[in-house]
Chain A
Amino acid sequence: MLLNGIFVIIPVIGAVICAFLNKQKQAPGLLANIILLFGFLISLHIFFMSLGQEWFFGEDVLSAFMLIMIYMVALAVAFFAVFAASTKRRGSYFAILLVITAGMAGVVCSQDLFTLYVFLEVVAVASFVLIAFYNREKSTEGAIRYFYLSSIASAFILFAISLLLLYTGDTTYEGLVKTILQTQGNSAPLNIILGTLAVALMIKTGLFPFHSWTPDAYESASSPISALLAGIVTKVAGTYALVLVCMLLSIVNFGIEHNTVGKAIMWFGLGSIVFGALAAQEQKDFKRMLAYSSISQMGYITIAAALATPLAMAGALFHIFNHATFKTLLFFCAGNVKKATGTTAINEMRGLQEKMPYTSATATIGMLATAGLPPFSGFWSKLFIIAALWQAGFIGMSVTALFASVLTLAYFLKLQRGMFFGSASKNIANVKEQGMGFLIPCFALAFIIIAVGIYFPFIYNNFLSPFIKVLQ
């Protein structure tokens, strides 16, 4: 944590400076981008330096991997926001962006459940402010709904941590694992405690049936913020912590065979996959469709994390990375469309491809990757998850997850046909493609999606295979 503390301290110092530069137009954005670029490069360095070391909660490779994702998405969002954020209060805007980055870095660097809880609260407060930033009726409603549900989740987390402290006498990950290994055979209390923790984290993730805050929050927030929330915040504040809990559950129950709580979480994951995919079909707004798509994709990660076999865990972590890239890209595209046309309603325009070719092309890459089509990155992580389910004997779940992927393709094709394809409608006659400031983050993320998909053997041999071996 001390080494990784720089990932928390530097953004916080930057946030304080940004807050004092509220009247400046360029300086806050520039400072935020420099800090985030610095953090991204350092996290890359730490990741490659720590390859080959033992994977463990909150240490070394796993936290470095998560730090790369956090700083990559935050940097892309900060760069996009320099052009897309229409506010006079740019100092405050970028200050909160840096605070939430610091909070997320704290979550993945912590080696103790209580520290994790404190940083989850930082992320919750900063998310609330970002959603409500423009003080519009809808965004305030979305923010309040998020805050209420997040508060309930926080109460559950604190309650579970208190019980865990009473039962095991420790809240550090290392201490918990040691105590769990010593007390195996009496798993009922630990299952109840970890189950409570899992429910709280499912609320934070926005899984079905705890999803009610996500569509409102994503739709009402500005596009850079929606991208940040869907791209990384829910991953770190919900899914990453849920992966840790699922790992502990797996240790408590010697794998999946006797893991009733793990199986229950898997059903929640499957419910999210199916519900998100079906609900997305009915949406008439680009951002709302992306919100339901996120609920569905979170389901894939959850089902794999709860299965907790080495292959499933690798799939879950890989899908966290992939979803962070393609969902951030899609929200940027939605932001470009909104900026150019003033709306994200799907049926109000046609043929945007003619007017906005780059946005359309990158959106298509993001959509195909989300649907899990080869050779894009999403194909490989979904393949891992479905193969892991099949291998563990959950054939019904595996087939359902596969069919839900087809549903994903269906609603995105519907979106493409309704918004981008065909001849341009009259109401978009004066629409123009956005400038390079808006497009550079889209190109960068699209490049990552394609590169990860094409160079998958390299990624498998160097990152995923060592991880699977350690877990085995």
Chain B
Amino acid sequence: MTLHFFLVICMIICALAAVMAKRMIHSAIFLALVSVLLATIMFSAYAPWAGVFELSVCAGLITVLFASTASMIGRGESYAKRERKKFLFLPPVLIVFGVLVWLFGGQITQVFQISQTPAVPAFMTVGDVMWNLRLPDLLGQLCLFVAGVMAVRVILGEGSDE
């Protein structure tokens, strides 16, 4: 449980950094870290399927899309500063929330009891899950990746015919 709390805290810090980072490319990296940490929590909570998808779709695909979008539209630091002001309230709110969790932590952990029953047999590796059980989903992700890249290229990269 301590490991889970540590991972959740790290995830919240990365999420904060993602919305408050000065550069969009840094935001994309922090967002990828959020996904990696969430996937780790899912793996340790015996949900490898969900972990695999979180890792491949969110940490992989979404990061590529965000990073390519950020580099294409090339918005500068001043824009980021103006946008960041909106989120200045977030750190104090999260600190208050953290104190409340610490005070009433016992009751909350009862609600978030993690299942000890693995959703897939223990002998199955991530590779087994991806290649044997969820191959059609991988195909779908490939299509989604191509669609996402085309979206970035058409809408942001090529401009209009006129």
Residues on A close to B: CB < 8 A?
Answer: 1-2, 5, 8-9, 12, 15-16, 19, 86-89, 92, 95-96, 99-100, 102-103, 106, 109-112, 114-115, 118-119, 121-122, 125-126, 128-129, 132-136
* Contacts A125-B148, A126-B147, A128-B151 known; 19 new A-B pairs at CB < 8 A: A2-B135, A15-B150, A16-B146, A92-B153, A92-B154, A95-B150, A99-B147, A99-B150, A106-B143, A110-B140, A118-B144, A125-B147, A126-B150, A126-B151, A129-B150, A129-B155, A132-B155, A134-B160, A135-B160
Given contacts A112-B136, A134-B160, contact A89 B144 (CB under 8 A): no
Contact B150 A96 (CB under 8 A): yes
- Report B125-162 CB contacts with A as 1/0, cut-off 8 Å: 00000000011110111111011101101110011111
State whether B155 touches A92 (Cβ < 8 A).
no
Q: How far is the CB of B35 from chain A (nearest CB, A)?
A: 16
Instruction: Give the CA-CA distance A89 to B144 in the complex, in Å.
Output: 21
Question: Is A103 within 8 A of B158, CB to CB?
Answer: no
User: Nearest 9 pairs between A and B by C-beta?
Assistant: A118-B140, A135-B160, A125-B147, A122-B143, A115-B136, A129-B151, A1-B136, A126-B147, A99-B147
Q: By CB atoms of chain A within 10 A, which of B143, B154, B162 has the most? A: B143
Q: List 19 A-B contacts (CB under 8 A).
A: A12-B146, A15-B150, A16-B146, A86-B161, A87-B161, A103-B143, A106-B143, A109-B136, A112-B137, A115-B140, A119-B140, A125-B148, A126-B147, A126-B150, A129-B154, A132-B155, A134-B160, A135-B155, A135-B161
CB distance from B13 to the nearest CB of A (A): 26
B153 interface neighbour in A19, A115, A125, A136, Cβ under 8 Å: A19
Interface of B is mostly: helix
Q: How far is the CB of A430 from chain B (nearest CB, A)?
A: 24
Residues of chain A lying within 8 A (CB to CB) of residue B160: 134-136
Residues of chain B with a CB closer than 8 A to A118's CB: 137, 140-141, 144
Closest Cβ–Cβ distance, residue B124 to chain A (whole Å): 16
Given known contacts A1-B136, A115-B137, A129-B155, A121 and B150 CB-to-CB distance under 8 angstroms: no
* Complex interface: chain A residues within 8 A of B141 (CB): 118
**A438 shortest CB reach to chain B, Å:** 20
Chain B interface size band reads 20 to 34
Q: How far is the CB of A119 from chain B (nearest CB, A)?
A: 5
Chain B, 28-51, CB within 8 A of any chain A CB: none
**Which chain B residue lies CB-closest to A15?**
B146
How far, in angstroms, from A126 to B140 measured CA to CA in the complex?
Answer: 13
Taking Cβ atoms with an 8 Å cutoff, the residues of B that contact A are 134-137, 139-144, 146-148, 150-151, 153-155, 158-162
Indicate if the CB atoms of A133 and B154 lie closer than 8 Å. Answer: yes
Q: Do B147 and A88 have beta carbons less than 8 Å apart?
A: no
Main secondary structure of the interface of A (DSSP, over half): helix
Nearest neighbor of A100 in chain B, beta-carbon distance: B147
Contact of A5 among B134, B139, B144 (CB under 8 A): B139
Q: Is the CB of A125 within 8 A of B154?
A: no
User: Which residues of chain B are near A95, meaning CB under 8 Å?
Assistant: 150
Q: Are B140 and A106 in contact (CB under 8 A)?
A: yes
B158–A102 touching, CB < 8 Å: no
Contact yes or no, A119 B143, CB < 8 A: yes
Identify which of B134, B147, B159 gathers the most chain A CB atoms within 10 Å of its CB: B147
List, in ascending order, chain A residues with CB within 8 A of B151's CB.
Answer: 125-126, 128-129
Say yes or no: A122 contacts B158, CB within 8 Å.
Answer: no
Whether A88 contacts B144 by the Cβ 8 Å rule is no
Residues of B within 8 A of A112 (CB): 136-137
Residue of A nearest to B159 (CB): A135
CB proximity of B47 to chain A, nearest CB, Å: 10
Bound CA span A12–B145, Å: 10
Cα-based distance from A469 to B160 in the complex (angstroms): 53
B residues in contact with A109, CB < 8 Å: 136
Task: Tell which of B136, B137, B141, B161 has the most Cβ of chain A within 10 Å.
Answer: B136
* A106-B158 in contact (CB<8A): no
- Is there contact, CB below 8 Å, between A9 and B153? no
Complex CA gap A110/B142 in Å reads: 15
On chain A, the residues within 8 Å of B153 by CB distance are 19, 92
- With contacts A89-B161, A118-B137 taken as known, whether A102 is within 8 angstroms of B155 at the C-beta atoms is no
Task: Please state if B154 and A110 are interface contacts (CB–CB under 8 Å).
Answer: no
Residues of B within 8 A of A12 (CB): 142-143, 146
Residues on A with C-beta less than 8 A from B134 are 115
Q: Nearest residue in A to B138 (C-beta to C-beta)?
A: A118
* Given the contacts A106-B139, A110-B136, A89 and B158 also touching, CB distance less than 8 Å: yes
Distance between Cα atoms of A110 and B162 in the complex (Å): 40
Of A19, A86, A110, A129, the most chain B CB neighbours within 10 A belong to: A129
Residues of chain B with a CB closer than 8 A to A115's CB:
134, 136-137, 140
Select from chain B the residue with minimum beta-carbon distance to A13.
Answer: B146
A99 to B142, CA, bound (A): 10
Q: Please tell me which one of the listed residues A9, A125, A135 contacts residue B139 in the complex, with CB atoms under 8 A apart.
A: A9
Q: Tell which of A5, A125, A134 touches B161, judged by Cβ atoms closer than 8 Å.
A: A134
Known A19-B150, A135-B155, A135-B160; judge A102-B136 contact (CB<8 A). Answer: no
Residue numbers in B under 8 Å from A103 (CB-CB): 143, 147
* Complex contacts, B159 vs chain A, CB 8 Å: 135
Give bound CA distance, A8 to B144, whole Å. Answer: 12
Chain A proximity of B66: nearest CB distance (Å): 14
Closest-CB distance, A221 to chain B (whole angstroms):
13
Cβ B144 vs Cβ A121 within 8 A: yes
Chain A nearest Cβ from B87, distance in angstroms: 22
What is the distance, in angstroms, from B113's C-beta to the closest C-beta of chain A?
Answer: 14
User: Is there contact, CB below 8 Å, between A8 and B150?
Assistant: no
Q: Chain A's nearest CB lies how many Å from the CB of B84? A: 24
Q: Which of A86, A99, A118, A125 is the most central at the interface, judged by chain B CB atoms within 10 Å of its CB?
A: A118
